[in-house]
Amino acid sequence: MSLLFEPVALRGLSVPNRAWLAPMCEYSAEDGLPNDWHLVHLGSRAAGGFGLVLTEATAVVPEGRISPQDTGIWNDEQTAAWRRIVDFVHARGARIGIQLAHAGRKASTFRPWSPVQGSVPVPDGGWPTVGPSASPYPGYAVPAEMTPTQVADVPELFAAAARRALEAGFDAVEVHAAHGYLLHQFLSPLANTRTDEYGGSADGRSRLVEETVTAVRAAWPDELPVLVRVSATDWRDDGLTVDDVAAVAGRLGRLGADLVDVSTGGVAPASISVGPGYQVPYARRVREVSGLPVSAVGLISEPAQAEQILVEGSADAVMLGREALRDPYWPLRAAHALGEKIGTVPVGSGVGTQPQYSRAQWR
C-alpha cells in the first residue's frame, strides 16, 4: 500500500487515508448558516475519497467572521445545519473536522468576488473590528485594541464553539492560528505591540493561543483530536520564523494538540517565493522540532509528489486546496496513479470511499 492511502490514527480517530481537504472559505453563507453549497462542496470531496475534510474558517462569534458571508457555529441553528453536512460526509466513509476561527483585525471584509471592493469594515452588514493592538492590516480599518477582559474571554469562545461542534457530530476541531487572523495576530510581533501579559516577549505573545488550545482540549472528548493551523513564517525578517512557531507547536502538543496543520504567511504583506510544495520544508521543520504529526499544504497537486512528501518524512498527511477545487475526486485519480484500489468497500466501513465509483480504479 502506498503511504498516501495508509490509514492514520489521531487519538481514537482513524482517518482512512492521508489525502485531506484543506479548509477553504466559500463566502456563501447567510447569518453564518452553512447551506446546500457547503453540503455539495464538502460532500463531493468526501465522495471523491478524501480521508478527512475540513470546513472553511468557521467563526466562533459573529464579529469573528472574515466576511458577512462566512459560516459560524455560535448558535443552535448553525449547529443543526452543520449536523446535516456532517452526517452526509460520514455516510460517504470520510471523517470531517471544523476549523474554528476569529478573524480579528482582518474581519468584516468584502468577499473576493464582490463587485464592490474598498475600505473595510464593509459598509453594508459589517462591524467594527478588534485586534491585539490598534494597528491595522495595511489597507484595512484601524481595529480597536482588545481590553484585557476581551482577551481573557477568547479561549471560552473557542471552547463553546467546540462543544457545539461535538453536538453537530464533528470528528475533529482545528484551532485557526494562521493566515493573519486573531490568534496569529497575537503570536506575531508584526501585529502585537501590547505591553501586558499577552504581548512583549515570545512567551507573552503565545499566551492566548496556548490558553485557547487548553480550553478547547478541555471541552473536546479525550478520544478525539485537536488540530492547530499555524503560519510557520511571516516571510519577513521582523516577523515570526519557523523555529519560533515550531517552539510554540511543541508547547501546544504538551497542552493537548494532536497535529499541526502547517501553512505560512498572512499577517502582513510580504514577498513569497511560490512553487510546487513551497511550504513543505516548513512542515518538516515543525515536525522535527515539535515532535508532533503535521500536515503539509501548498501547491501539492500530483499523486507522486504527495506520496514523496510522506515517504521522506516531511509530513504525516497532505492537504489539498486549489487542486481539490479543480478535481473533487483527486484521491480516486491518485489511487489509480499509485496502483491502489479504493472505492470497493461498503460505505461506512472506515476505509475506501463509494462503491459507486469503484470503476475509477480501472482504465
Residues involved in catalysis: 181
DSSP string for 197-235: TTSSSHHHHHHHHHHHHHHHHHHS-TTS-EEEEEES--S
Spatial distance between the Cα atoms of 317 and 122, rounded to a whole number of angstroms: 37
User: Which three cell numbers, joined as nine digits, stand for 180?
Assistant: 493573519
8 Å CB contact between 175 and 210:
no
Which residues fall within 8 angstroms of residue 81, CB to CB, at 6 or more apart? 33, 34, 35
Indicate the burial class of 167 (C-beta count within 10 angstroms; 0-12, 13-18, 19 or more): middle
Spatial distance between the Cα atoms of 319 and 186, rounded to a whole number of angstroms: 25
Spatial distance between the Cα atoms of 164 and 100, rounded to a whole number of angstroms: 11
CA-CA-CA-CA torsion sign (320, 188, 184, 15): positive
Indicate the burial class of 86 (C-beta count within 10 angstroms; 0-12, 13-18, 19 or more): buried
Spatial distance between the Cα atoms of 96 and 266, rounded to a whole number of angstroms: 25
Spatial distance between the Cα atoms of 178 and 66, rounded to a whole number of angstroms: 13
3 state DSSP class of 257: coil
Residue 121 preceded by cis peptide, ω within 30: yes
Beta-strand ranges (E) seen in 132-209 are 144-145, 172-177
8 Å CB contact between 270 and 179:
no
